[in-house]
Structure 1
Amino acid sequence: MDDTIMGVDQNPAAVAELFETVTVLMMRHVPAPDGLSLTAAATLGSLQRRGPQRITALAAAQGVTQPSMTQLLRRLEDAGLVARVAEPTDGRVVLVQLTAAGDETLRTRWETRLGHLETVLQTLTDEERATLQHAAEEALPVAQKLVNSLAARY
């Protein structure tokens, strides 16, 4: 059985290796010097994308326990990045929402990381950058589909 489509290897391990390589590049070599852990940044990002959420939903989305998420949220709240609010339809339920400072932190983080990545990309030739850009444009819709599929689970 042929495991290629349009001459491209369909081996899941090869795809996983590609994702791992990109992840290492982005997480280790294009840092955001804001002191946020990956879980903290991901939690803020989830609040930015999806709006106010319950602590249990945030914990599930990040793959941490509710007590761990509660501790993280306490630190983020102390830093002014999130706030606890009552659920509009049931005042007994507490939601966590991103504050303006949290939104600005994410924006600054993104801009800083883009600046680092731009510097790294300058080490490539024009042809190499064009190859990466073409590959990214082709892969982005598929990667976004995966992200949406996984995000829908939480």
Structure 2
Amino acid sequence: MLSEKGFSLIEVLISLTILSVSVIGVSQFYNQANQISAGNNNKLVATNLARMTLERIQHDYSPFEITPAPGTYNTSTCKTPSCQNLYKTTINNIVYDIEIEVKNQSGEESAIKLFPIKVTIHHDMNEKQRSTAVEGYVKDAE
């Protein structure tokens, strides 16, 4: 005589299989969401670092050894160790390299003694090179 009071072994195994497949799917979703969140956090840090660097340059660009002439500035263009430290920083165990590009002035910019600046932050994330840039103007001190 078969009793119909409980579950059979096959019913239990099928329900456990369905449950484990759904749990694995949901855990993969959380893992991917965590990776995206970390990437967005690194991009936010790079953007804020670029804005902060542009503000520092607007206040005083002499420590960065920048001239109003068009050109690109980074750690390789610095002559002093204190300047090289301005172009590289580590935040949350990620190295951010700062590159500053002074662009050509237009006639109006030259008349009011402004020169355009582009600050680019390079950082490695998951072994991929990422960049974030901010542009602005700097008043010529001369």
Report which of the two has the higher share of strand.
2
Is the radius of gyration larger for structure 1 or structure 2?
2
Compute the TM-score of the two structures, normalised by the length of structure 1: 0.24
